[in-house]
Amino acid sequence: MLDVKDINVYYGNIHAIKGISFSVKEKEVVTLIGANGAGKTTTIRAVSSLEKVASGEITYKGKDITNAEASSIVAMGLCQVPEGRRIFPRMSVRENLELGAYLRKDVEKIRRDYELVYEKFPRLKERINQIAGTLSGGEQQMLAIGRALMSNPELLLLDEPSMGLSPLLVKEIFKIIKEINEEGRTVLLVEQNAHMALSIANRAYVLETGSIVLEGDAKEVMENEDVKKAYLGD
pLDDT tier, 234 (very low <50, low <70, confident <90, very high otherwise)? low
Q: What is the mean pLDDT of residues 107-132?
A: 90
The pLDDT of residue 188 is above 80: yes
Comparing 29-43, 68-82, 103-117, which segment has the lowest mean pLDDT?
Answer: 103-117
User: What is the overall mean pLDDT for the chain?
Assistant: 91
Domain range summary for the chain, segments of one domain joined by +: 1-68+190-234
Report the pLDDT value the prediction gives residue 181, as an integer from 0 to 100: 95
Q: What's the predicted TM-score (pTM) here? A: 0.91
| 139-159 pLDDT, tens digit each | 998 999 999 999 899 999 999
Q: In what order do the strands lie in the sheet with 78-81?
A: 78-81, 155-159, 186-191, 29-33, 203-208, 211-217
Report the pLDDT value the prediction gives residue 231, as an integer from 0 to 100: 83
Report the pLDDT value the prediction gives residue 177, as an integer from 0 to 100: 93
The pLDDT of residue 115 is above 80: yes
Report the pLDDT value the prediction gives residue 163, as an integer from 0 to 100: 85
Looking at domain 1-68+190-234, what is its CATH homologous superfamily? P-loop containing nucleotide triphosphate hydrolases (3.40.50.300)
Q: Report the C-alpha gap between 151 and 88 in whole angstroms.
A: 16
Percent of the chain with pLDDT over 70: 99
| 198-233 pLDDT, tens digit each | 999 999 999 999 999 999 999 999 999 988 888 876
| 65-75 pLDDT, tens digit each | 999 998 899 88
